[in-house]
Amino acid sequence: MTTTLRSLLIGSAAFLFLPVSAQQTIQFGTGTSTNLPNGFPAPYGNILNGARHQILIRADEMQAAGMYEGTIESIGFDVFSPTGAVLQGFQLRLGTTTAGALGANWVTGLSTYWGPTDHTDAAGWNDHVLDIPFVWDGVSNVVIETCFTNGTPSQNAQFRNSPTGFQSVLHRSSDALNLCSSNFGSLVGHFNRPNIRMGWSPVPLPPSVSFSVDPSSTCDGQVSFTDLSLYGPTSWSWDFGDGTTDTTQHPTHTYLSDGTYDVTLIATNAFGSAQLTTPGAVVVNVNGPRPISACVPATSNGIAGIGIIEATYAGSTYPSGTAEAEGHVDASCRLDTVYVGTLMDVGIVTGTATTHRVRCWVDWNNSGTFSASELVLTADQVMSASDQVLVPASATLNTPLRVRMLADYDLAPLPTACGPVQNGQAEDYGLVVLPNPSPPVADFDIVPAFSCDGTVQFLDQSLNAPTSWSWDFGDGNVSSDQSPVHTYSGNGTYDVTLTVQNGNGSDMLMIAGAVTVDLGSALVPAGCEPATQGYCCGYGLLGLVFGGINSTSPDGSEGYVDRSCGSTATVEEGDLVPVNFTVGGPGLHDVRMWADLNNDGAFTANELLFEATPLNAPNALLSIPFGAVLNTPLRLRVQADVQGSSQGPCDEPAFGQTEDHAIIISPNQDPPLADFEAVPTTTCTGEVQFTDLSTQQPTSWSWDFGDGGTSTDQSPIHLYQQQGIYTVSLTVANANGQDVEVRSNYITYPEPWVCDTVLMPTVQ
């Protein structure tokens, strides 16, 4: 893909490049449509005794017309039908702006370069030779302002104009005396611009030479060269490094022999010549070694903006066209090298039309196929992804291996190495794995580092391809396997040591406290492990903060995960505990949390601690119920799924996921808080139902009904024998203390003649 130093956006305008000695005439616009005699834009428009215009010429238009740093010495307008009117005090002001289109207000900071001088319009080009040349830096957008106020009106001169595709003109027509100085008034914008020509003198410098090469590494020998030189070269001399030359500005050349070639460009203009030589600019591998053949994943429907625009591996980065332009690309003759046992960077940058699924495989065993173990990069919903991959000791050495990059539309089917690719593309590159001359560097991973059953997987991650391993697990046991599984028999924290060796030397790594074993924290096995049906779009649980748990994790792409070992909430029965859920995906989630309160491995309806359908706020307060199995790790289940999908603890989530953690509920350490109610509080029969409303789990109750009667029931019915007004008290107690609630004059038992049984409720 051609690398450009600057973008050239020429829109719909046409340009003429007419050399006239040192000064050149540059024309912007060749359109033939005109304004009406009372219409605008019209820099000489006198319909209302005066007019002010600002006209934008963008830098990319000027560059595309062949302009670069220099001076603008005249500005001309193409008049189709003049009026012959004298425009009093006509002036030209110029300046620059960073805006790519004019807005709703005048551009400020302009300076006067012509006039104020009376001007009479005439048919054809009306050129205004500037009083002072305007110095243009070659990169800024230029604003040209015309303005005049007149004593008498006339029709507008008609100007030939051209469409620009952006708001390129602002105008105000008025007889206001301050028209040319006021920044106020009603402004009108236009996308048609009067044809303009400039007298331009380039800076008197020889070219500043630059060029691009596409591709810089070629499998068929064909290379395109693009001149990017500044300061208007008029002739070019290319030397391709293989004995051939060319004098065109942008040549294409075919190399016939493999090799690395220096490329030289000499560019010349009226002020001299300059030369640039790029060593090793082109690498040709037409006949040299390549990876063995593999399947070809064709693009079925390439779309602009979808596909790979940059591929990185083994220290090299290759630009690329997207799927619509290229489809599948086989650049496997481009052979980069990497040492076995080292970390290799892998990266893909995609087009920007939408997010992508990206994948990368390396055919480590040179089989011509790509297995699941050879997938080295995977990401979804991205426009770029990168990672480091350990070059395995099992990789075939000193042989070209195929690297396959793939990028497709994010909602396309899951990518496979052999396709087909729906809207994106696959690209193939070459890699040679070399023997490593360095001693190993010891490193390892532990899964899990906190074990509830004592079983731990040790994974060798050492660099530089060790050939022997010696493990010391810290409990008196050892192993010489590369990645052993070890079972600890006792609780504790263990130091782990790995010593690795190859023909170039050895290295040792000891991690203190690497493994913690707690054999008493294993949970009752879950009665179900609900798998995700069809992960999509980032749905799932990304984070949980609750009772000491502070868990972050990938989304539902990982499916069901049991994190109960080492992810434990510690709470007290009866407490209100804050919880925070972090979820992903573009839409709303239903979130639920259960606890296996009776520790039987199943979840029932009364074990649902939290439910939000949908989750509108990430924070909540959970009430920890009484009656759970205490001081024992219990299973805590969190389900996060797209709104309206799964509901029960064993339902399989549609897009999201289920995670299990652990919870330990300790006994409540607080005395009870007495509370009760009575129905009715005014009775005509003497019968009253008392209901205990005490909190903090009382274990005994003592009622005094105020008439000499008492009870130790939790919620008794009492029958008053005599009319009167009674004070009632309830004393509750548990192992942590007691509390009393007294209600003075709480129960009324009126005389019979007062009683209205229609209004006075009775105990049901």
The model's pLDDT over 73-103, given as tens digits with 9 standing for 90+, comes to 999 999 999 999 999 999 999 999 999 999 9
Please name the residue that has the structure tokens 């129905």. 679
User: Is the alpha carbon torsion for 63, 65, 67, 71 positive or negative?
Assistant: negative
Per-residue pLDDT reduced to its tens digit, 257-303: 999 999 999 999 989 999 999 999 999 999 889 999 999 998 888 88
Tokens standing for 488? Answer: 């600890």
> Which of 1-10, 110-119, 242-251, 312-321 shows the lowest per-residue confidence on average (mean pLDDT)?
1-10
Average pLDDT for 673-699: 95
Are 472 and 497 within 8 A, CB to CB? yes
Structural contact between residues 406 and 284, judged by C-beta atoms closer than 8 angstroms: no
Domain ranges of the chain: 15-202, 211-284, 308-434, 445-520, 523-666, 676-749
Mean predicted confidence (pLDDT) in 521-539: 91
What integer pLDDT is reported at residue 97 of this predicted model? 98
Q: What is the pLDDT of residues 302-355, one digit of tens each?
A: 888 999 999 999 999 998 887 888 889 999 998 999 999 999 999 999 999 999
pLDDT of residue 760: 53
The backbone torsions φ and ψ at residue 489, rounded to the nearest 5 degrees and listed phi first, read -100, -10
Name the pTM for this structure.
0.60
Least confident of 71-75, 480-484, 586-590, 712-716: 586-590
- CATH 3.40.50: does it fit domain 523-666? no
pLDDT digits (tens, 9 = 90+) for 399-408: 999 999 999 9
Q: What is the pLDDT of residue 16?
A: 32
Interval 116-144 mean pLDDT: 97
pLDDT reported for residue 13: 29
Confidence of residue 685 (pLDDT cuts 50, 70, 90): very high
Asked if 320 and 329 count as a contact pair (C-beta separation under 8 A), the reply is yes
- The 8-class DSSP code of residue 525 comes to P
> How much is the pLDDT for 763?
52
How would you class 353 by CB atoms within 10 Å of its CB: exposed for 0-12, middle for 13-18, buried for 19 or more?
A: middle
Query: Residue 41: is the preceding peptide bond cis (ω within 30°)?
Result: yes
Can you give the pLDDT at residue 757?
52
pLDDT classification of 14: cutoffs 50, 70, 90? very low
Mean pLDDT across the stretch 222-243? 95
Q: Closest Cα to residue 225, out of 4, 68, 64, 66? A: 4
pLDDT over 90 percentage in the chain: 82
**427-439 per-position pLDDT tens digit:** 999 999 999 999 9
What DSSP designation does 564 have? Answer: T
So what's the pLDDT on residue 15? 32
The pLDDT of residue 19 is above 90 = no
Q: Phi first, then psi: what are they for 538, rounded to 5°?
A: 90, 5
The DSSP secondary structure of 20-73, one letter per residue, reads: ETTEEEEEE----EE--TT-S--TT--TTSEEEEEEEE-HHHHHHTT--SEEEE
What's the CATH class of domain 15-202? mainly beta
Residue 299 is predicted with a pLDDT of: 84
Task: Say if residues 208 and 229 touch (Cβ distance below 8 Å).
Answer: yes
CB 245 within 8 A of CB 260: no
Predicted confidence (pLDDT) at residue 229 exceeds the cutoff of 90: yes
Instruction: Compute the distance between CA of residue 479 and CA of residue 500 in angstroms, rounded to an integer.
Output: 12
Statement: residue 601 has pLDDT above 90: yes
Contacting residues for 651 by C-beta, under 8 A, at least 6 apart? 530, 639, 645
| 31-78 residue pLDDT tens | 999 999 999 999 999 999 999 999 999 999 999 998 999 999 999 999
- Reading phi first (left if > 0) and then psi (alpha if -120 to 50, else beta), residue 564 is in alpha
Mean pLDDT of the chain: 92
Q: By C-alpha distance, which of 338, 727, 354, 659 is closest to 537?
A: 354
Query: Into which CATH architecture does domain 676-749 fall?
Result: Sandwich (2.60)
CA dist., res. 333 & res. 330, Å (int): 8
pLDDT tens digits, 380-403: 999 999 999 999 999 999 999 999
pLDDT of residue 185: 84
pLDDT category of residue 618 using cuts at 50, 70 and 90: confident
Higher pLDDT, 609 or 302: 609
| Residue 761 banded pLDDT, cuts 50, 70, 90 | low
Terminal-to-terminal C-alpha distance of the chain:
88
- Between CA 606 and CA 205 the distance in angstroms is 85
Same fold, 445-520 and 676-749: yes
- pLDDT at residue 3 above 80? no
Residue 522: pLDDT band (50, 70, 90) is confident
Query: What CATH fold (topology level) applies to the domain 308-434?
Result: Immunoglobulin-like (2.60.40)
Higher pLDDT, 735 or 471: 471
Phi, psi of 327 (to 5 degrees): 65, -145
Residue 8 has pLDDT above 80, yes or no: no
Instruction: List the one residue out of 462, 453, 452 whose CA is nearest residue 497.
Output: 462
pLDDT beyond 50 at 9: no
pLDDT at 17 over 70: no
Q: Look at residue 507 and tell me whether its pLDDT is greater than 70.
A: yes
pLDDT greater than 80 at residue 569: yes
Distance CA 690, CA 728 (A): 10
Which of 73-82, 591-600, 611-620 is the least confident region? 611-620
Residue 759: what pLDDT? 52
The domain 211-284 having CATH identifier 3.30.2000.10: the answer here is no
Sequence-distant (6+) residues with CB within 8 A of 9 are 58, 60, 61, 64
556-571: average pLDDT: 92
Helix (H) or strand (E) segment spanning residue 485: strand 485-487
In this prediction, residue 165 carries a pLDDT of 94
Segment (H or E) for 479: strand 478-479
| 445-520 classified as CATH 3.10.580.10 | no
How far apart are alpha carbons 546 and 570 in whole angstroms?
9
pLDDT on residue 758 = 45
